[in-house]
Each structure stands twice: as C-alpha cells, then as structure tokens.
Amino acid sequence: MDMTHYMSLLTSNQPWNLLIFMAIPVICAETLTISEFFIIFNRLQTGRLRTFNKAVGIFAGLYFTGIFIYLFIAAVIPITTTGQWHTWVDVVAVGFYLLGVIFLLPIALMELGILFKGKTKEEKMKIHFILISGFLVTAHIAMIFGMVNPEIISSMSTMPIM
C-alpha cells in the first residue's frame, strides 16, 4: 500500500516520530483548548491555570515552529525538487500539517508580549481562542488526508464515468 509522506513520517522510526510530530503538538493543542474553555468561561485574567495555559502556548508555538523549519528543509524542499509527491492528497496532508505554524507561532509570540501588544486582555483571549481553533482544524484536515491511500486517488482517473 502506498501512503502519504505525512503517514510515512508518523509510522517510521516508531514510536519517536509519532511522539515528536503528532503526540506532543496535539496534546499541547488539546491542553490549550481545554484550559482555554475554563479561562474563557470563568473570565480568568490571572492564576495558575492562566499561567499554565501561557506556558503551554509558548512551548507549543516554539516547538511547532522548530518542527515546521525541520520538515520544510528536510522533507518539503527535497520532495518538491525531486517530484516525489504522492498525488495532491499528499500535498494537502503535508501542507495542512505545516500550516499549523501560522496558528501556533502567533500564540507563543502573543504570550511572550511580542504580538498584539495594543490589544486588551479580552481581545487577546478571543485571538488566542481563534488561533488554537485554527490549529485544530488544520491538524485534523492533515490527519484525514494523511490517512488516505494515494493509490486510490491516482487510480480514480482510470475509472469509467458513471
């Protein structure tokens, strides 16, 4: 069975790639989401949960930026230059996975006081929630397309028209 580069990455070097590229980012995102619900529901501006959420946001953003840089250099550029993509499904899976950086990095930069300096705490809470939601959407799209067997897509062009 042929598989996307996304799935190939996760299944090789077990269990390390699965932990590094899937478990850690997704657990961080889910932790941010759950703590975000408590923060928003209770309108928490300070406290241990808010501090924990901030620390996870900084870690997740910087960690995923490292993953993005590594995979872009080690995988995307070589696969693109040698024409080894396994259909458009492969490009969507890897592309959406890497798009997660546009949501997680701003969370880290906001928590470090670099982005959105002029926003109120309320506005920052909204931005934070939108960004983590965006990451979860892109990560799930990557997972769904990453599990598709690219052979199905490439063989569909030979299917008779119904």
pLDDT tens, 40-93?
899 888 999 999 999 999 999 999 999 999 999 999 999 999 999 999 999 999
Confidence of residue 159 (pLDDT cuts 50, 70, 90): very low
Q: For residue 19, report the phi and psi dihedrals to the nearest 5 degrees.
A: -70, -50
Task: Give the pLDDT mean for 26-41.
Answer: 94
Q: Is residue 160 part of a domain?
A: no
Q: Would you say 55 and 32 are in contact if contact means Cβ atoms under 8 Å apart?
A: no
Q: Is residue 40 part of a domain?
A: yes
Range of 28's domain?
A: 5-155
**Total residues found in the chain within this entry:** 162
Instruction: Give me the number of domains the chain comprises.
Output: 1
Residue 1 confidence (pLDDT): 54
